[in-house]
Amino acid sequence: MENQPEIVQKALGFAQQGWEIALKWLTSPAAWSQFAILVVAFLIALVATRKITPIVTRILTPAEDQENIIARARRFALMFLPLLLPLLAYALTGLGEQITRSVFGSGAVIAFGKRVFMFLAARILVRDIIKDGFLRLLGRYILIPIAALYALGLLDLASLHLTETRVGVGNISFSVMSLIRGLIAGSLLFWLGRWSNDQSAAYIGKQEELRPATRELAMKAAEISIFGVAFLLLMNILGINLSTLAVLGGAIGVGLGFGLQKIASNFISGVILLLEGQATVGDYVELDGGEAGTIVKMTARAAILESFDGRWIVVPNEDFITTRVVNYSDSGSANRYEAPFSVSYNTDINAVPAIIEAAVAKHPDVLDEPYPPDCELRGFGDSGIDFAVEFWVNGIDDGANKYTSDVLFLVWNALRDNGIEIPYPHRVVEFKGTPPQV
């Protein structure tokens, strides 16, 4: 055994101690009485759980159509019902421990049983209650091993060993225990930050009285505040003095000034866009570069446009500040379009505007404000007289809405009903000399 590695020697030593403790318990009347108390406590907890569970379920289960805060709290409490058995057994075992310590002066076996019940509770919590994938991962690889060490009575020893083991990075050294503590705390803090950010974003998104740009700005401010507080709490838990980060902050500032100019510019441009509100989620915009679509999302770096053919276009926020942007949805969504057409030279053109304006005005989406339909003479073409009817609608003439197509149908039907001919090209061919023989 002396030739084995140190870790193997320690493991064999713990196994030897465990075997000696087990033999001692097997030959001790006090230990057998404590085993009996553990079994009785578990059986009582099992029977009580089977009796209590239906009653508690009936009390805590709300109606299916209830969605208020009390109903959500009752559903949340109902999730923890599987913990009733191990926690009730733990409580009953605690009462038995007081009895055995007063009678036998010892309670090691029953204390071990209590820790086993806590391990079972941790296992049920991770397996049956926690639904979030990240929290379940933490529970599986952190909570359950800690509960197992606690049940075996090795948690203090493992904690001491991890505290004494130190790792160094340059002139800075940390204990393994502090790194593990920081990892756990950081994971929980940033999970909580993500959850809080989702809840705050959902709440702010429901405030219909706020402008869309104001809601987006409030969401970004809440996100920065939540994760900023999480970072400060993590630094405090790790015991890191924030003044020591001044040099690192200066280096990051230099990096932003030289290598990350575009990222910083896009971030500041995004804040300006949210403050001014000249382009926000839901607006249909067209940029100088030809990008056009509805803004479906605005991030810290870019805006995402969705075109009518289903493509997503990522446009840096800086482009909205430094280039010309046409916003078809700003200051109201009414837009003007026109539908060109031609009539024959044999037509009484004085009657055409009234006929076309009356026909187009029947379209349910054509507006009377700011202007009603207006038919204008545009010119005299090679084959006919050119007209165009201007009309105003709410929305964009593309995607689900095909206003120009509908108006052209109305124009065609109106001209046909009034006997007005839509011309087609005519060509006169002159032959010099002898005409060709057919």
Across 365-386, average pLDDT: 88
Chain segment 323-368, per-residue pLDDT in tens? 888 887 654 567 888 899 999 888 888 989 999 999 999 998 898 8
Q: What is the per-residue pLDDT for 390?
A: 92
Q: What is the mean pLDDT of residues 419-423?
A: 87
Q: What percent of the chain has pLDDT over 90?
A: 8
Residue 93 clears pLDDT 50, i.e. is over it: yes
Q: What is the pTM of this model?
A: 0.50
- Residue ranges per structural domain of the chain: 6-164, 176-261, 277-327, 334-417
Q: Residue 15 has what pLDDT?
A: 55
Q: Which of 166, 170, 161, 189 is nearest to 179 (CA)?
A: 166
pLDDT at 103: 61
From the list 124, 192, 117, 180, the residue with the least C-alpha distance to 150 is 117
Give residue 242's pLDDT.
62
> Among 55-64, 237-246, 402-411, which stretch is predicted with the lowest mean pLDDT?
237-246
**Per-residue confidence (pLDDT) for residue 331, from 0 to 100:** 47
Dihedral sign from CA coordinates of 215, 217, 220, 221: negative
Q: How far apart are CA 78 and CA 71, in angstroms?
A: 11
Tell which residue, 110, 111, 148, 109, has the closest CA to residue 126: 148
- Calculate ∠ Cα 336-341-346, nearest 5°: 140
DSSP E strand boundaries for 69-208: 166-169, 172-175
In angstroms, the Cα distances linking 25 to 33, 42, 303, 382 are: 10, 20, 69, 112
277-327 fold: SH3 type barrels. (2.30.30)
CATH topology of domain 334-417: Alpha-Beta Plaits (3.30.70)
Confidence of residue 377 (pLDDT cuts 50, 70, 90): very high
| C-alpha–C-alpha distance, residues 362 and 360, integer Å | 5
> What distance in Å separates the CA atoms of residue 390 and residue 87, rounded to the nearest whole number?
76
Evaluate whether 421 touches 412 at the Cβ level (below 8 Å): no
Per-residue model confidence (pLDDT) at position 387 = 93
Q: How far apart are alpha carbons 341 and 386 in whole angstroms?
A: 6
Residue 3 pLDDT exceeds 90: no
Each residue's pLDDT tens digit, 183-227: 888 788 788 878 887 778 777 777 777 666 667 767 777 777 777
**What is the rounded average pLDDT for all residues in the chain?**
77
Q: What is the pLDDT of residues 251-302, one digit of tens each?
A: 566 665 666 677 777 777 777 777 776 777 778 888 887 788 888 887 777 8
Q: E strand or H helix at 290, and its extent? A: none
pLDDT value of residue 102: 64
**226-235: average pLDDT:** 77
